[in-house]
Each structure stands twice: as C-alpha cells, then as structure tokens.
Amino acid sequence: MINEILMLVFFFLTGLLISALGSIPVSSTNVAVVTTAMDKTLKKAMFIAYGAALGSTLLAFLALFYHRLFTNYFENNQWLHILFLAVFFVIGVFILLRKKMNLSFENPLNKKWQISNFYKGAILSFLNPPALIFWILVISLANTYLLTLSKSSPLLNLILFFNGIFFGRIIVLYTYGRMGRKKDKKKKDNEIVYKIIGVALIAGTIVQAVRMLME
C-alpha cells in the first residue's frame, strides 16, 4: 500500500518537475504573462497562465498517445523547425532594437484578440511545435530512465502525471507574473525586462539552431 502511494506521488512530482523545467525558457506565453502583469494586473496575467497550463497538458497528452506519428512528421518536415526559429529570432531582434527602430512592443495578447485571457493563453501554449517536440523527447526519456508512460498505464498514474504538468506550468508562470509586477513598480526597469526577453529569445533560437545542425 505504501509503495503504491509513493509511486502515485512520484508520477505527480515527475510531471511537476518536468513541466516546471520546460516552462522556464522564455516563450511567447511567458512574455504574455510578464507584459500583462506589468501593463494590467497579476490576476489577469494568471488567467493566461491557467490557459497555458491547460494547453501544455494537452500537448503532453498528444505526445504520449501519438508520439510516433508526430515524430515522423517533424523528421520529414525540417522547414517547420527553421520557420519557428526564424520567427522567434526576428522577434528577439525587434525587442532589442525597439528604441532605435521606433517600434512599440505590445503585449502579444492585445485588444484585437476578442477572446478571454484564458483562451489566449491556451492558444499560445498549444500552438507551439517545439513544445510538442519537447514532450515527445521527455516522455521517451522518462520511459527509458524513470517510469513507464503509455496508453496502457494505470489511469490514476496518468491523471497524476498530467496534473503535475498542469501545476508545474502554473507555478513557473506565476513566478514570471510576480517578477513582472515587481518590475512594474519601477517603470525605468521595464526596458531592462524587455532587453532580457529579447536576449533570451535570440540566445534560445541560436542554441536550438546549433542543436538542429548537430543532429
């Protein structure tokens, strides 16, 4: 009985830790949470976080049940990787040079989106091919070194694993939102936040490009 309980806790904590680590790198969702917290309120930013957590959980679900299909598709369509990297590299450059180019960097979730923050967060998180690749790789590694995850795994184990993913995402995005609120109290520091975001996006795309070339 104790071993079964410990195993259930292990499934939850594994999902929590993996999700938290995967949420730390800067992404469009993280940027949206930070800028919404700075420009509006932490409460509104958290609605984005809840939607993003649901989107990440759905991606992990798809990765678990259809990983072979997605793996073959991405391997045969390298242009998707290149397109994604190019888009985020350009966004990072624009953020860094926004002053010199007289660009106004707006929240990715501006008023033109006529849907709630929850759905905006879910869309930004779900429509993220690299995140899907991340979950495919993570689940493969987890099956090799940590635990058994498959369609035939006990339902309770899967529920706890996906719950861990959900809450791990929320914890990290809440931290981003809190950071955004602290920076908002010092308006002059907002530019530093944007510079950090821009550098992180550019550095992240460069690292991903190098990894792709080495594969």
pLDDT per residue as tens digits for the range 1-33: 788 888 889 999 999 999 998 888 767 788 888
- What CA–CA distance (Å, rounded) separates 80 from 84? 6
Helices (H), 40-116: 42-76, 78-96
pLDDT per residue as tens digits for the range 182-195: 765 555 455 666 66
- What CA–CA distance (Å, rounded) separates 211 from 166? 28
- What CA–CA distance (Å, rounded) separates 66 from 77? 17
Residue 77 has pLDDT above 70, yes or no: no
pTM: 0.70
Beta-carbon contacts of residue 125 (< 8 Å; ≥ 6 apart): 29, 51, 52, 53, 54, 55, 56, 59, 131, 169
Residue 167 has pLDDT above 70, yes or no: yes
- What CA–CA distance (Å, rounded) separates 4 from 10? 10
At CA 79, angle to CA 74 and CA 80, rounded to 5?
Answer: 55
